[in-house]
Amino acid sequence: MEDKILEIRHLSKAFGDHQVLRDIDFSVGKGDVTSIIGASGSGKSTLLRCINLLETPTGGEILYHGQPVTGPGVNAAKYRSRVGMVFQSFNLFNNMTVLENCVVGQVKVLKKSKAQALEDAMGYLNQVGMAPYRNAKPRQISGGQKQRVAIARALAMEPEVLLFDEPTSALDPEMVGEVLDVMKALARQGMTMLVVTHEMAFARDVSTRVVFMNQGVICEDGTAEQVLGDPRQPETRDFLARFRNA
Amino acid sequence: MDKFVKLIQDVEVLWSKYYPMYLNGVKNTLILALVATVIGFLIGLACGVLNTIPYTKQDPWPKRFLLKLLRGLIRVYVEVFRGTPMVLQAVFIFYGLPYFTDGAVAFRGNSGMWLASIIIVSVNTGAYMAESVRGGIISVDPGQTEGAKAIGMTHVQTMLHVILPQALRNILPQIGNNFIINLKDTSVMFIISFTEFFAAHRYIVGVNNMYFPSATVEMIGYLTMTLAASFLLRLAERIMDGTDHYKLVQEDSLTMTAGTYNHPHRGTPFDERSKEVRERIKQELKFGRSRGDR
Q: Give the phi and the psi of residue A199 in degrees, each rounded to 5.
A: -85, 95
Beta bridge partners of A212: A37, A220
Dist CA A186 CA B147 (whole Å): 20
Dist CA B219 CA B184 (whole Å): 10
Q: What is the pLDDT of residues A90-129, one digit of tens each?
A: 999 999 999 999 999 999 999 999 999 999 999 999 999 9
pLDDT on residue B107: 85
A108 and B58 within 8 Å at the Cβ level: the answer is no
Q: Which residues contact A59 (CB under 8 A, 6 or more apart)?
A: A10, A11, A12, A13
Dist CA B9 CA A236 (whole Å): 91
A109 and B56 within 8 Å at the Cβ level: the answer is no
Is 60 exceeded by the pLDDT of residue B264? no
Q: Is pTM, for the whole model, over 0.95?
A: no
pLDDT on residue B294: 38
Dist CA A5 CA B244 (whole Å): 43
Closest approach of A13 to chain B, Cα-based (Å): 15
Is 50 exceeded by the pLDDT of residue B272? no
State the burial class of residue B231 (Cβ atoms within 10 Å of its Cβ: 0-12, 13-18, 19+): exposed
Q: What is the pLDDT of residues A130-180, one digit of tens each?
A: 999 999 999 999 999 999 999 999 999 999 999 999 999 989 888 899 999
> Which residues from A are below 8 Å from B60, CB to CB?
72
Is 60 exceeded by the pLDDT of residue A202? yes
Going edge to edge, which strands form the sheet with A4-15?
A: A18-29, A4-15, A59-64, A67-68
Count other C-beta atoms under 10 Å from residue B102's C-beta. Answer: 8
More confidently predicted of B252 and B162:
B162
Q: What is the ipTM of this complex?
A: 0.90
Is 80 exceeded by the pLDDT of residue B251? no
Give the mean model confidence (pLDDT) for residues B11-16.
92
Q: How many residues does chain B have?
A: 294
A87 and B60 within 8 Å at the Cβ level: the answer is no
Q: What is the pLDDT of residues A31-77, one digit of tens each?
A: 999 999 998 889 999 999 999 999 989 999 999 998 899 877 788 88
Give the mean model confidence (pLDDT) for residues B38-45.
96
Is 80 exceeded by the pLDDT of residue B261? no
* SS3 state at B220: helix
The percent of residues above 70 in pLDDT, for chain B, comes to 85
Is 70 exceeded by the pLDDT of residue B273? no
Give the mean model confidence (pLDDT) for residues A190-202.
92
DSSP letter assigned to residue B50: H
Closest CA to B132 of B37, B198, B211: B37
pLDDT on residue B269: 43
Give the mean model confidence (pLDDT) for residues B244-264.
58
CB A212 within 8 A of CB A230: no
* Window A:148-207, CB contacts with B under 8 Å: 150, 153-154, 157, 172, 174-175, 177-178, 181
Dist CA A110 CA A91 (whole Å): 20
Dist CA A186 CA A58 (whole Å): 33
Give the mean model confidence (pLDDT) for residues B78-98.
92
A95 and B165 within 8 Å at the Cβ level: the answer is yes
Closest approach of A16 to chain B, Cα-based (Å): 13
Closest CA to B129 of B45, B51, B70: B45
Is 90 exceeded by the pLDDT of residue B191? no
Q: Which chain B residue lies closest to A153 (C-alpha atoms)? A: B151
Interface of B with A (CB under 8 A): 56, 58, 60, 141, 143-144, 146-154, 157, 161-162, 165-166, 169, 242, 244, 246-250, 254-256, 260-261, 263-265, 268-270, 274-277, 292-293
DSSP conformation letters of chain A: ---EEEEEEEEEEEETTEEEEEEEEEEEETT-EEEEEE-TTSSHHHHHHHHTTSS--SEEEEEETTEE-SSTT--HHHHHHHEEEE-TT----TTS-HHHHHHHHHHHTS---HHHHHHHHHHHHHHTT-GGGTT--GGGS-HHHHHHHHHHHHHHT--SEEEEESTTTTS-HHHHHHHHHHHHHHHHTT-EEEEE-S-HHHHHHH-SEEEEEETTEEEEEE-HIIIIIS--SHHHHHHHHHHHH-
Q: What is the pLDDT of residues B133-185, one digit of tens each?
A: 999 999 999 999 999 999 999 999 999 999 999 999 999 999 999 999 999 99
pLDDT on residue B279: 65
pLDDT on residue B254: 60
pLDDT on residue B258: 43
Dist CA A121 CA A135 (whole Å): 13
The closest CB to that of A109, out of B151, B246, B277, belongs to B151
pLDDT band at B247 (very low <50, low <70, confident <90, very high): confident
Dist CA A220 CA A193 (whole Å): 19
Give the mean model confidence (pLDDT) for residues A204-226.
92
pLDDT band at B287 (very low <50, low <70, confident <90, very high): low
Dist CA A129 CA A148 (whole Å): 8
Q: Which chain A residue lies closest to B60 (C-alpha atoms)? A: A72
Q: Rg of chain B's alpha carbons, rounded to an integer?
A: 27
A139 and B292 within 8 Å at the Cβ level: the answer is yes
C-alpha dihedral sign at B256, B262, B267, B271: negative
